[in-house]
Amino acid sequence: MSRRQVLVYRQLPPDQLARIQQEHDVVIANPRVAGQKDAFLKALPTAEGMIGSSYPIDEEVLTLAPRLEVISSISVGLDQFSPDALHRRGITLCHTPGVLTETVADLLFAMVLATSRRVAELDRYVREGQWNRSVGEDLYGWDVHGKTMGILGYGRIGQALAHRAALGFNMPVLYHTRTPVPSGLPEGRAQPVTLREVLMQSDFIVLVLPLTEQTRGLIGPQEFALMKPGAILINGARGPIVQEAALLQALEHGQLRAAGLDVFDIEPLPVDSLLRTHPKVLALPHVGSATHETRRAMCEMATTNLLLALQGKQPLAAYSPAPAR
């Protein structure tokens, strides 16, 4: 097996990097790190494999990389690529589904609890020295157990979240998804419904579906207007699925009680974003899968994907386009 040229465009654990270096010649250049963009651009013309995450691999990058055969993404989401365009060019696109499912579901549920029980807000209250009396109604939160959980996108993570909600917190679950699937829960604990029904009947609406042409801007003024007054929105999917201006309006007008956001239109969130300082927003820096165990498992899986694909073997998980209808 001949050695190939691999461009590593995000930091990998040393042992995973060593696995790649054993078989291939490696250039390490993260275009997001100051001073490394030139090295990244310079490595593209000879790159045959690439491994990294989140940096958009667009037409401009692809045009500079005519020898590219494999991209291994350290993520499950593939919205930073044009998967069909890569497929047409014969480039194998691999990703890391499954290994992060439970970890992301944990964080989504943490956001449900934190927004409803006002965890971050009350922490600020104590730190700022405001706790000088027993708390009054103005600082009360709202119960989570027994409330209705609405899930948009009932794939791996959506189903793991539904388990936590239905079986751990006795919450009726409503879900809406593109491809109908059974709930995987005991009879009567979760119902597949329309998007409109999820919006109208849920106390929590959690987004965990991919960013695609169909889902971009999916939650806008009309969708917020359908929500129960006092609903809580959790976006653990991708920022552009929610129209941020409409979200701010819904928070201002009291339509939404709170929003828990792990993802934003622009990441990192610009310092002047109104979402950064809004008192009803719990803002996290895109950390759904960011635990030591899971980020390591993702890097291992992505490395294996890259090595298998460069050997001409079937990777553990590769994107394949939906069959034409």
Ligand X SMILES: NC(=O)C1=CN([C@@H]2O[C@H](COP(=O)(O)OP(=O)(O)OC[C@H]3O[C@@H](n4cnc5c(N)ncnc54)[C@H](O)[C@@H]3O)[C@@H](O)[C@H]2O)C=CC1
Place of tokens 């998804």: 177
> Nearest approach, Cβ of 43 to ligand 3PY (angstroms)?
24
Stretch that binds ligand 3PY, among 12-20, 43-51, 69-77, 239-247 (CB under 6 A): 69-77
Q: Which two tokens stand for residue 61?
A: 């990058």
From the list ligand 3PY, ligand X, none, pick the one residue 208 interacts with, judged by a Cβ distance below 5 to 8 Å according to partner type: ligand X
Active site residue 267: yes
Binding segment (CB under 6 A) for ligand X, from list 24-32, 87-95, 99-107, 163-171: 99-107
Q: Which residue intervals of 100-167 are DSSP H helices?
A: 101-116, 119-127, 156-163
Q: Which residues, at least 6 apart from 99, have a Cβ–Cβ distance to it below 8 Å?
A: 294, 297, 298, 301
DSSP string, 172-234: -EEEE-SS-----SSTTSEEE--HHHHHHH-SEEEE-----TTTTT-B-HHHHHHSPTTEEEE
As a whole number of Å, the CA-based R_g of the chain is: 22
Shortest Cβ distance from residue 140 to ligand X (Å)? 29
Q: Is 235 in the site for ligand 3PY (CB under 6 A)?
A: no
What's the token pair of residue 312? Answer: 């001409």
**Closest distance to ligand 3PY from the beta carbon of 142 (Å):** 28
- Rule CB under 6 A: is residue 16 a binding residue for ligand X? no
| Number of amino acids touching ligand X (CB under 6 A) | 31
For residues 95 and 319, is the Cβ–Cβ distance under 8 A?
yes
Q: Which residue is nearest to ligand 3PY (CB)?
A: 77
Provide the mask over 169-188, with x wherever binding to ligand X is found by CB under 6 A and - wherever it is not.
-------xxxx---------
Q: How far is the CB of 161 from ligand X (least distance, A)?
A: 9
Q: Please, which residue, 43 or 208, has the CB nearer to ligand X?
A: 208
State how far the Cα of 123 lies from the Cα of 128, in Å rounded to an integer. 9
Cβ proximity of 121 and 115 under 8 Å: no
Q: Which residue is nearest to ligand X (CB)?
A: 155
Question: For residues 241 and 219, is the Cβ–Cβ distance under 8 A?
Answer: yes
Residue 199 near ligand X by CB under 6 A: no
CB 232 within 8 A of CB 259: yes
C-alpha span between 290 and 107 (Å, rounded): 9
Task: Give yes or no: 238 in active site.
Answer: yes
Q: Which of 189, 286, 295, 296 is catalytic?
A: 286
Q: Establish if 295 lies at the interface with ligand X (CB under 6 A).
A: no
Contact status: 114 vs ligand X (CB under 6 A) = no
Give the one residue of 209, 233, 307, 310 binding ligand X; rule: CB under 6 A.
209
**What does DSSP assign to residue 324?**
P
Q: Which is nearer to ligand 3PY, 231 or 233 (CB)?
A: 233
Which residues, numbered 279-318, are part of the site for ligand 3PY (CB under 6 A)?
288-289
CA neighbor of 83 nearest in space, from 55, 52, 58? 58
Give the one residue of 286, 296, 297, 316 binding ligand X; rule: CB under 6 A: 286
Catalytic residue IDs = 238, 267, 286
